[in-house]
Copies of this chain bind each other. A is one copy, B any other.
């Protein structure tokens, strides 16, 4: 069988090539260079391309001055930590959380502590205890279809977090790149829409248009955005303006929503295939039932060693991510070895089914 012989990658959360609206992007590149070459080929203010800031502001109900567009949202998160924290500060993240975000926070010299999550988001009692004990400077979370678990924070937990942030005076960094990719259920209000004073909202075009453009954005209080812009200017003068011009043109033409609908139609059956295959093949494990996004999170059955499963899977032609990088654990906390992130968007359904069959075989071996 052909699928047997090929390595299947359940590793990185990247879109498949068929996700990219290439011809539309060609048209946008030609148009923006035709009309605005003197702008998009030039140095520009570090806060980003004006028309894109305006369009995003309109979409999120804020003025353009509350929006900063940069080279992907990871670097904007790092700028935010530079502005909001000092080395040695403590911050909270979900446990598990996005490994690159954890790395970037640690790079700033921060103490990163994980708050355990449940099916409807962080454990409130644990959060309250950690807030009182550690007085964090900020909490970073991905409330919709979280990376790496796929879980979504419930409305009442969103509200509770904002109350705590207000009471204890910490910032909330809401990283929300998957939000638009909802395949089932009803959207919940973003944390930023619930409290624009305390919440810094990060998102990007990587999951809804193209990662290679490297266009991410930050929405927050205008004074804070201005401080991040100064830091961005000192770091890279201007962000990539042509990319931003192309993204702006794509949005202004009304092409973003139809593109998102197309992506949802592409990804939804992949999520369903993943969940169905897990049900059939791996019923002894526990996994999340995401309503959108890129990932299903899975805990291996009790007593199964994750390191052994990863090694065995590799032999069977299945690549899995190391789980520990997602866990900002304190001594005594779970270390993530038994956790698997399953990114399903880049794989056609037959590969998903074969991949999970191999996973079950690796677990049983």
Contacts and interface: CB of A to CB of B under 8 A. Distances in A.
Interface stretch (A68-76, A117-125, A288-296): A68-76
Contacts of A135: none
Do most interface residues of chain A lie in helix, strand or loop, or is the interface mixed? Answer: helix
A42 B241 contact: no
B12 A103 contact: no
A44 interface: yes
A30 interface: yes
Interface of A: 12, 14-15, 17, 20, 22, 25-26, 29-30, 33-34, 37-44, 71-72, 74-75, 78, 100, 103-104, 107, 206, 210-214, 234-243, 246
Given A235-B104, A243-B240, A43 B211 contact: yes
A44 B212 contact: yes
> Which of A39, A71, A212 has the largest count of B CB atoms less than 10 A from its CB?
A212
A234 B22 contact: no
A30 B29 CA distance: 8
Nearest to A104: B234
A234 B25 CA distance: 28
A33 B26 CA distance: 6
> Which of A44, A241, A246 has the largest count of B CB atoms less than 10 A from its CB?
A241
A13 to B, nearest CB: 9
Contacts of A78: 235
A213 B42 CA distance: 8
Contact of A236 (B25, B72, B210, B238): B72
B239 A246 contact: no
Contact of A214 (B37, B210, B238): B238
A246 B240 CA distance: 13
Contacts of A43: 12, 14, 206, 211-212
Contacts of A34: 22, 26
Closest 10 CB pairs between A and B?
Answer: A212-B241, A17-B38, A29-B29, A240-B240, A41-B210, A22-B37, A41-B212, A20-B41, A214-B240, A75-B236
